[in-house]
Amino acid sequence: MTIPLLTAAALTVDLGTRNPVRILDGISFELQAGRTLGVVGESGCGKSMTALALIGLVPEPHRIGGSLRLGDVELNTLDAERRRLLRGKRVAMIFQEPMTALNPVVSVGQQIAEMLEVHEAASTSEARRRAIALLGQVGIAAPGERAPAFPHQLSGGMRQRVMIAMAIACRPQILIADEPTTALDVSVQAQILDLLLELQRREGMAMLFISHNLGVISEVSDEIMVMYAGRIAEQGPAAEVLARPTHPYTRGLITTMPDIRHRQRLLPVIPGAVPDPRHRGQGCSFAARCAEAEDICSEAVPALRGHLHRAACVHA
């Protein structure tokens, strides 16, 4: 078997220096070329932090432990300059809110062209020409006329297309999409998802797709990783996890998906909220909200059990 494109092994992230807080704990997964790993969980579960750790932009001050390998290169020990050159070139990222993620005072064409100038030493005119071609590729009509526009002159969907054009400019091997459709109108969400999937098929990119919306995740993912309070709750092939969820949290997420076929008076909820990572206690972090919790659950953090389809629950 070929080595995976990206391997995370027991990845940990601590923020702060004096009283470091463990934000991510024991994150392990593999990402193969052309495949999509969907990361799902509520706000504050560590999804975005996982993305920032992959791209090397965890806010300072921090400490990162464990291993993160791109092919056979260990990223966590790579020097800052070489790490920077990988960003955008081999691992690119799309953010949730395209309005604030694009620079308001630089034209969209220039923001895309900049990728080619930085990573491929393209001349200004060459970068400009390719930026216009990229705008066309992401489905923007009349790209030559749109290139000199500024972000505030475009619609939300168009802005996210610009973000995508920027991310794929250097044909990265891995695309991280952090809630790429969350800030968009529902009708535009589907268009952006289709665009991402089509580009992935054409370029053979691996994708790490982050969303709090299990519905979106189930549409795009080959594998699913369910995160809770900075740890993995459950992971495995998408069809497996969705059809036979073993962790109570995953089951909770699935039952809380609104179903359009049945009108419901009250939408089902998981009671409680994600615990603050500073006071997580020693047991399973989900125990306090879990209907199936027993005494044993609050004694020790359950290990991930299973082979391809794994869950961190004593009942699994």
Partner 1 sequence: MIRFLATRTLGAIITLFAKSFIIFALIGLMPGDPLDLLAQANPDATPESIATLRSIYSVDQPLPDRYVAWLQAALHGDFGFSRIQHRPVLDIVVPALGNTLVLTGIAFVISTIIAVFLGTIAATRKGSWIDRAINLLAYAGISVPSFWLSLVLIYIFAVKLGWLPAGGMPHVGDGAQSWASHLLLPVAALVMVEIGGLTRYARSAMLEVLGQDYIRTARAKGIANGRMLLRHALRNAMIPVITIIALGFGHLFSGALLVENIFAWRGMGRLILEAIMGNDYNLALVCLLFTTAMILVASILADLAYTWLDPRISLGGRRR
Shorter beta-carbon distance to partner 1: residue 153 or 298: 153
Shorter beta-carbon distance to partner 1: residue 158 or 233: 158
In 16-156, DSSP assigns E strands to: 21-31, 36-40, 62-70, 73-74, 91-94
Q: Pick the piece of the chain touching partner 1 (CB under 8 A) from 33-41, 102-110, 120-128, 212-220.
A: 102-110
Residue 75 Cβ, how far from partner 1 at the closest point, in Å? Answer: 13
User: Is there binding between residue 54 and partner 1 (CB under 8 A)?
Assistant: no
Q: Pick the piece of the chain touching partner 1 (CB under 8 A) from 18-26, 107-115, 292-300, 307-315.
A: 107-115
Q: Given candidates 10, 73, 106, 300, which one binds partner 1 under the rule CB under 8 A?
A: 106
Q: Pick the piece of the chain touching partner 1 (CB under 8 A) from 10-18, 22-30, 111-119, 134-142.
A: 111-119
User: Is there binding between residue 64 and partner 1 (CB under 8 A)?
Assistant: no
Alpha helices, H only, the chain: 47-55, 80-86, 98-101, 108-120, 124-137, 143-146, 156-168, 186-203, 214-220, 238-243, 248-255
User: Is there binding between residue 171 and partner 1 (CB under 8 A)?
Assistant: no
User: Is there binding between residue 142 and partner 1 (CB under 8 A)?
Assistant: no
User: Is there binding between residue 300 and partner 1 (CB under 8 A)?
Assistant: no
Q: CA-to-CA distance for 32 and 39, rounded, in angstroms?
A: 15
Residue 119 Cβ, how far from partner 1 at the closest point, in Å? Answer: 6
User: Is there binding between residue 88 and partner 1 (CB under 8 A)?
Assistant: yes
Q: Given candidates 85, 142, 300, 303, which one binds partner 1 under the rule CB under 8 A?
A: 85
Q: CA-to-CA distance for 184 and 192, rounded, in angstroms?
A: 9
Strand, coil or helix: what is 204? coil
CA–CA distances in Å: residue 257 to residues 40, 78, 159:
13, 41, 28
> What residues contact 290, with CB distance under 8 A and at least 6 apart?
248, 249, 284, 297
User: Is there binding between residue 75 and partner 1 (CB under 8 A)?
Assistant: no
| Residue labelled with tokens 């997580």 | 280
| Residue labelled with tokens 């609050």 | 298
Q: Given candidates 12, 65, 78, 150, which one binds partner 1 under the rule CB under 8 A?
A: 150
CA–CA distances in Å: residue 164 to residues 97, 138, 193, 312:
12, 7, 11, 34
Going 91 to 95 to 98 to 99, the CA torsion angle's sign is negative
Residue 60 Cβ, how far from partner 1 at the closest point, in Å? Answer: 10
CB 218 within 8 A of CB 47: no
User: Is there binding between residue 156 and partner 1 (CB under 8 A)?
Assistant: no
User: Is there binding between residue 89 and partner 1 (CB under 8 A)?
Assistant: yes
Q: Pick the piece of the chain touching partner 1 (CB under 8 A) from 63-71, 99-107, 137-145, 219-227.
A: 99-107
Number of residues that bind partner 1 (CB under 8 A): 29
CA–CA distances in Å: residue 91 to residues 53, 136, 161, 222, 244:
12, 22, 18, 19, 32
Residue 107 Cβ, how far from partner 1 at the closest point, in Å? Answer: 8
Give me the residues that bind partner 1 (CB under 8 A), please.
55, 57, 84-89, 92-93, 95, 97, 100-107, 114-115, 118-119, 150, 152-153, 163, 166
